[in-house]
Amino acid sequence: MSRSVVRRSAISAAIALLGSAIGAASMAQEAFQPVGSDVSLDQPFVQRGNDTQPTTVMVMLSGDSVVKMEKRFGRRLERSERESVASARRAEQDTVRPHIERLGGKVLARLQHALNGIKVQIPRNRINSLRHLPGVVDVKAVGNYNRLNTNEVQLIGAPQAWQSTLGAFQGQGVKIAILDTGIDYTHANFGGPGTVAAYNAAAATSTAPPSPLLVGPSAPKVKGGIDLVGDAYTGSNTPVPDANPLDCSVTAGFSGHGSHVAGTATGLGVLTSGATYSGPYTASAYSTNSFRIGPGVAPKADLYVARVFGCSGSTNVVAEAIDWAVAQGVDVISMSLGADFGNVGNGDGGSLAEAQAVADATAAGIVVVAASGNSGSTPYITSAPGVYEGAISVAATDALPGVPTASLALAGGASVNVLNANGGAYASGTTFPVRVLRNADGTVSLGCDPNEYDPAVTGVSLAGKVVVTQRGSCARVFRAGAAQHFGAAAAAMINNAAGLPPYEGPIPGGATSPTSGNIYEPVTIPFFGIALADGATISGPTGGPAAATAQATNTGISPNAGFEKIASFSSQGPRIGDSAMRPSVTAPGVSVVSTASGTGNGFQILSGTSMATPAVAGVAVLAKQAHPGWSQPDLRAAIVQTASPSMMKDLAQRAEGGGLVQAQAAVATQAVVRMPDESISFGFQDLLSDFSGTKTVTVHNAATKAVQFNIAAVKTTGPAAATVSAPGYVIVNANSDATFPVRLDVPAASVGGGTGFQDVGGYLQLTPSNSRLNANVKLSVPFYMVAHSRSNMAVSASGGTLTYGNAGGAISSQPVPFVLGQYQPTPLGVQQLDVRAVGVRSSGTNLIFGLNTHNRMSTTLANQEVDICIDTSGGPGFTPNKILIGLNGSRFSSSLAKSTYATAVFPTDANCNINGSGTILFTVTQPTDNSTLQLPVTLAALGLSSASPRIKYVVNYYGTDGSGAQMPGVGSYNAFTPAVTFGASPVVAPNGTGTSSFAVNAEIANTPALGVMLLLRDNVPGAAQAALLPLQ
């Protein structure tokens, strides 16, 4: 703590109470708002502090896995050698298993190839005991992942790679593994019989080994497969593995996700006749044939499939699937799955098992490609496993230059241009009465509850009407199905991001839930997509009235405003922790046509980074074929650095990475830039003074001739005052490396502070000086930095005065005072939430808990959890009866977005375990790249009054991977007569000073305090963001 002290004798009745003195200023800084009446606590929620809750972890053993042995020997092991290593690891695991079971652990799986580990389900409070077992070197959390829902292949230049002057790169001899929902190996796109009857016959014996004519070395496409989970697996029940990787059918209401992505990566193609396309795969394939489903990016690759999802739900068997893929000797792994905010797990201490599996797989030379996620533009929300070291993370763009549109002429004279998202038929000129579904507070409803449509429930007929809802929470197409099912003539959805929502194509029925799709019959009515900016035009103000009618006129195919721009759903980066650039690269992922499982030879249209990922995985196959001797990092660089930044019309590195992937360039280049993560990372920077950083860039030329690259620097994001500079050219000799410096300069005051997110990005364009050099392929090397301008506030206390100075600060800052109740001087290694100090203050009818952490948190939304156990009884000792919880709001309510932080209060037993229903209280704007949190709670929610004003509290906190700790001691506070009160806090300008007053009163005897905590959240993160002044 600071050497300055707060004197208990500094008591002054003239000092106003905290709530009335700084309430207005603090509300502005905290930006917390009460939740609306429509926000209910409808998500199944279990507090992290329930120690007996079963959790899943990977127990890591000391012996080297197969891939680590391969790394040691510098080569791929022969099959017999691999089995010998695996056998030795199994023997070691046999000796540990009884010890695990004696601790109450249940062994779920054993891995020897990518990892040497035993997957265990065990009560959380026994995890530390696992770490002390003989042979155990670590215990890692196991993540829980979700699936992430013909122009594509052409837009990325794959047909040109198929018939390159350097060779016919179509995937021959390269093995790719798809880890997903399985594969419809009977489909024509994979060389199967191509009939529904064939699929039904396979489904009737779906737990028995599949026909070797369809899955196996002699099969036309699928050379190997396994089902690690079974149809009924949801991610929360026990997997039932079998040898058959058959996907679930779209005709039964399931997505057929794995079959769709496999078709994009390596499908053979299906002609309009329904027959399998057998080639030739040339640059003219599309102009000389008519396709129902175009060929995949690498149509001649060998496909291996590990089924990790059941017919619905999520998965936690990704590490096992990577282990299986490594055992098959694959060259590329594609994972159209993810967990938001990168390193999010459901276990206890340590990094995730999947991170280790990816690291070991990449070390063995396998190119790992994974989806960036479908959660939009929130900073740091990009998904694992794509964020893991060595993986390529893929964002999504729209490859459709034109989409079907309509004009809605509204009663009153206004009109809006809309998307006909499913191409639904209607008579041009039809007038639809408008029915807007609304929440209790009058805002437009998400329309995710079937009862909102049902006339028997609402008393309102939908016959002939267009039903208007807001995008969010449930599947987009559910709204169209529900509207049609209950009698509407059309449906309309207002987008929740700028522009129009995605084109859907034909909307099938039969999904299992509103979150997975349309649960009703296939949709034939039009499903109009409305731009966010036009939403209020049709829906009217909050509470209405809406436009009475909408006359729809078909306007044909219109230019797609989203063409070659980032998809609104595509998750953005950067990576949590080091702020490195993620995603890595972009591919088409909107309205992608590919395989429809269970249809014989049919297609379906899906959108998501899931659809973009296999396109990049296919490019990885082609690059591996073209450069068989290249290292895995060089292959990654070839894919990322030959992407086209200029083809992305709204390029930003944290959204689109290096740009739109280009297959032909990736196979043709003979040069790459060797940099970690394939980009030039300046990391995260706190700016008290002007930043000037230099990185050394290494260019590797694998060609037999020297090459000169001319260098141009392009800045795409960041303040105008930021500049990047590099030499005009670099010459790289044959089979050699050359280096050059790149410098980034950013003025300290230019990027701003506060709660906002600021970054600087762009790319270096390396252009061959002659078209004959490097096959005329340009290299585009992204550079990226996250920065915050910072204050340099310091505080001292004397008498009843707090004195502030901001010497050398780049921006102004305003301190926020708290009564300090708990202090942990030593960091405990809790990831992204290592709490240092906790205090409380009053603000009107609310209490605000303030937290300061030892280290910078990239974001507070990454499923960290703060549990504040509160005793409101006023009695002796500490017996909690309430708990205030702060975490990502989507874990409380389906009405809250993943970009929302929220607080909720629950009743508890004496051990602080929730024992009743709770209430969501506030949404809170927490800053990014900071070391402070503020958690509000109402006095009413705690049952406090002037007659019963006192609380005691203990804070428990849990990091991004589930590990946690408890603050030492017990804090106390009087909500009506605080022991320490404060005057208004000043705003202190750079190099300025300011003062405020404080007082300690007689209540200190009843609610002891450790001192005063002043949150200085514009300072450099860490201890500098909270001045702790102990009481003397």
Catalytic residue (choose from 4, 65, 164, 180)? 180
pLDDT for 25 equals 33
Ramachandran angles phi, psi of 530, nearest 5°: -110, 135
From 533, 559, 585, the end of a domain falls on: 559
Catalytic residue (choose from 255, 259, 372, 610)? 610
Is 8 a member of any domain?
Answer: no
Residues 293 and 392 in one domain: yes
- The full length of the chain comes to 1032
Smallest Cα–Cα separation from 358: which of 381, 394, 383, 333? 333
Nearest-angstrom CA–CA distance, 269 and 220: 13
- What is the pLDDT confidence band of residue 351, given thresholds at 50, 70 and 90? low
Residues 302 and 160 in one domain: yes
Question: What average pLDDT does the segment 663-691 reach?
Answer: 95
Residues 471 and 531 in one domain: yes
DSSP at 599: S
- What is the pLDDT confidence band of residue 286, given thresholds at 50, 70 and 90? confident
pLDDT above 90: residue 195: yes
From 754, 789, 824, the end of a domain falls on: 789
Alpha carbon dihedral 631, 632, 637, 638, in 10-degree steps, equals 70
CA 773 to chain centre: 39
Domain count, the chain: 5
User: Residue 262: helix, strand or coil by DSSP?
Assistant: helix
pLDDT for 755 equals 76
Higher pLDDT, 823 or 146: 823
pLDDT tens-digit series, residues 401-433? 889 999 999 999 999 999 999 999 999 999 999
627 is known as an active-site residue: no
Question: What average pLDDT does the segment 769-796 reach?
Answer: 96
pLDDT tens-digit series, residues 881-891? 999 999 999 99
From 141, 172, 192, the end of a domain falls on: 141
Residues 91 and 227 in one domain: no
pLDDT above 70: residue 112: yes
Is 43 a member of any domain?
Answer: no
Question: What average pLDDT does the segment 607-635 reach?
Answer: 96
Is 89 a member of any domain?
Answer: yes
**In 364-438, at which residue ranges do the beta strands (DSSP E only) sit?**
367-371, 391-398, 402-410, 415-420, 430-436
Q: What pTM was computed for the model?
A: 0.90
273 is known as an active-site residue: no
Residues 882 and 990 in one domain: yes
- What is the pLDDT confidence band of residue 51, given thresholds at 50, 70 and 90? low
Nearest-angstrom CA–CA distance, 883 and 909: 10
Nearest-angstrom CA–CA distance, 683 and 701: 27
pLDDT above 90: residue 13: no
873 is known as an active-site residue: no
Query: HEC profile for 187-220?
Result: CHHHCCCCCHHHHHHHHHCCCCCCCCCCECCCCC
Is 62 a member of any domain?
Answer: yes
User: Residue 693: helix, strand or coil by DSSP?
Assistant: strand
Is 801 a member of any domain?
Answer: yes
Mean pLDDT of the chain: 91
Domain that holds residue 473: 408-559
User: Residue 255: helix, strand or coil by DSSP?
Assistant: coil
pLDDT for 509 equals 82
Residues 626 and 739 in one domain: no
State the CB neighbour count (10 A cutoff) for residue 739.
Answer: 11
Is 737 a member of any domain?
Answer: yes
Which range is least confidently modeled, 6-10, 70-74, 103-107, 119-123? 6-10
pLDDT tens-digit series, residues 467-525? 999 998 888 999 999 999 999 999 999 998 888 998 888 888 877 788 878 899 999 99
Which range is least confidently modeled, 111-120, 574-583, 745-754? 745-754
What's the sign of the alpha-carbon dihedral 80, 82, 88, 94?
negative
pLDDT above 90: residue 342: no
Residues 769 and 740 in one domain: yes
Burial of 50 (0-12, 13-18, 19+ CB in 10 A): middle
- Given the DSSP bridges, would you call strands 222-227 and 302-307 parallel, antiparallel or unpaired? parallel
**Whether 229 contacts 247, CB under 8 Å:** no
Higher pLDDT, 540 or 38: 540
Q: Quick one: tokens of 574?
A: 């950067």
Collect all residues with Cβ–Cβ distance below 8 Å to 1031 and sequence separation of at least 6: 5, 6, 7, 8, 1000, 1004, 1009, 1010, 1011, 1012
pLDDT for 507 equals 87
Is 174 a member of any domain?
Answer: yes
Residues 218 and 264 in one domain: yes
pLDDT tens-digit series, residues 904-960? 999 999 999 999 999 999 999 888 999 999 999 999 999 999 999 999 999 999 998
pLDDT above 50: residue 348: no
DSSP at 830: -
What's the CATH number where 87 sits? 3.30.70.80
pLDDT for 148 equals 67
- What is the pLDDT confidence band of residue 284, given thresholds at 50, 70 and 90? confident
pLDDT tens-digit series, residues 21-44? 233 233 334 578 899 877 888 887
Residues 254 and 392 in one domain: yes
Residues 916 and 863 in one domain: yes
pLDDT above 80: residue 7: no
pLDDT above 80: residue 11: no
pLDDT for 14 equals 25
- What is the pLDDT confidence band of residue 156, given thresholds at 50, 70 and 90? confident
What's the CATH number where 643 sits? 3.40.50.200
**Whether 669 contacts 169, CB under 8 Å:** no
Task: Give the rounded percent of residues in the chain with a pLDDT score beyond 70.
Answer: 95
Catalytic residue (choose from 257, 260, 485, 627)? 257
pLDDT for 20 equals 25
**Whether 324 contacts 317, CB under 8 Å:** no
What's the CATH number where 726 sits? 2.60.40.2310
Residues 432 and 494 in one domain: yes
Residues 126 and 184 in one domain: no
Which range is least confidently modeled, 160-174, 934-948, 996-1010? 160-174
Is 4 a member of any domain?
Answer: no
What's the CATH number where 428 sits? 3.50.30.30
pLDDT for 141 equals 85
pLDDT for 149 equals 61
What is the crossing angle of helices 66-73 and 79-102, to 10°? 140
